[in-house]
Structure 1
Amino acid sequence: MRKMNFLFLFLFLSFSLKGISQCDIKNRVQADGSMMYFFEPTVFYTTKSKSLKINIVTDKEHYFVSLQPTPFPEKKIGKKIKDDLIIHLADNKTYTLAHYDTQYRRNDSIMQVLYLIDDKDIEAFAKYEAVTAEINMKGTEFIRSYNFKLHKNAIVEQLNCFLKKEENE
């Protein structure tokens, strides 16, 4: 009986802490002095040859999908990435997110590409999980297509954390 109580308590705390940590919003001051809020990137796709991490980033005015693909082109070529992101959600609709910025971080060991979520699409991204993304990665392949298998609902969870926080402010 005592072991059962301990197990129940352990499981309860594990799920409680997981629920709390899901809204672990971080922030970073940009070079221009503006503040960006974000979550740690989540792995959406991984194989031996390539992977893709995604997270939501906001400046409290706009919301962005941030992609961190691996491998990525060298900075000279990567800065030429200007094409939009095509993403398919579980509502069986296709959304086009406008390219916003390509950044290289941590001594160019990480490439991050930001895509602007249109205000009219926020509700869909907050409701439906991501299924597929198509990215034109100049310098590597023509178009990379990622069929998401891991953490497909991370965009929904992260966006809802931001939206909930805004409501409470």
Structure 2
Amino acid sequence: MHAQCDIKNRVLADGTMTYYFDPTNFYTTKSKSLKINIVTDKEHFFIALQPSPFPPKKEGKKIKDDLVIHLADKNVYRLTHYDTQYRHNDSVMQVLYLIDQKDIEAFSKFEAVVAEINMEGTEFVRSYDFKLHKDAIIKQLACFLKKEDK
């Protein structure tokens, strides 16, 4: 059974159209959660993380560190910090990390195992084992890549 390709889109302030999925819970406890999804502008692919709780805008904008993800192929991938966004009247903070073009294939084949996150000012400054939805990235990328083949 494959994931439903329920792709959403929205236009950014600069007029760029972006496509994304509703975020999936990647890590969750009673006091905090981290959601993850793929965002694309059709040229680049990003992993978006939504931490909760999250710091106010002034603090959140200090998040500049890259995201490091270990995939099931036993390799380690570094995703460059791209942007920190506050949305829905600042009720959601989303941090975007760019997936290197050369790594797209690996991300679309291998499950995510560990994410090394350093989101300064949030509770997410350590390594997290993917327990939920290890294949969320694979499924979402598959939807986008399939659409592009057409």
Q: Distance in 2 between matches of 1:63 and 1:166?
A: 13
List alignment gaps of at least 5 residues for structure 1: 1-14
Structure 1 match to 2:48: 66
List alignment gaps of at least 5 residues for structure 2: none
The 8 Å contact of residues 67 and 80 in structure 2, kept in 1 or not, is answered as: yes
Which amino acid is the alignment partner of residue 42 of structure 1?
Answer: T
How many Å apart are 1:141 and its aligned residue? 5.1
Q: Distance in 2 between matches of 1:62 and 1:132?
A: 22
Which amino acid is the alignment partner of residue 26 of structure 2?
Answer: F
Q: Distance in 2 between matches of 1:133 and 1:71?
A: 18
Q: Percent same amino acid among aligned pairs?
A: 76
Rg larger in 1 or in 2? Answer: 1
Q: Distance in 1 between matches of 2:33 and 2:117?
A: 13
How many Å apart are 1:77 and its aligned residue? 0.4
2:80 to 98, 107, 123: 98
Structure 2 match to 1:45: 27
1:83 to 54, 65, 75: 65
Q: Distance in 2 between matches of 1:75 and 1:144?
A: 21
Structure 2 match to 1:11: none
Q: Distance in 1 between matches of 2:59 and 2:126?
A: 16
The 8 Å contact of residues 51 and 124 in structure 2, kept in 1 or not, is answered as: no
| Number of matched pairs | 150
Where 2:13 maps in the other structure, the secondary structure is: coil
* TM-score (norm. length: structure 1): 0.84
Structure 1 match to 2:99: 117
Q: Distance in 2 between matches of 1:115 and 1:102?
A: 9
Structure 1 runs of 4+ off > 3 angstroms?
Answer: none
* TM-score (norm. length: structure 2): 0.95
Higher relative contact order, structure no. (Cα contacts within 8 Å, ≥ 6 residues apart): 2
Q: Distance in 1 between matches of 2:122 and 2:69?
A: 20
Return closer, same or farther for 1:81/1:154 CA change in 2, 3 Å cut-off.
same
How many Å apart are 1:59 and its aligned residue? 0.3
Give CA-to-partner distance per residue, 1:80-121, whole Å, 9 cap, x none.
101100111111111100000000111111100000000110
Name the one with the larger strand percent.
2
Note if 1:135 corresponds to 2:117. Answer: yes
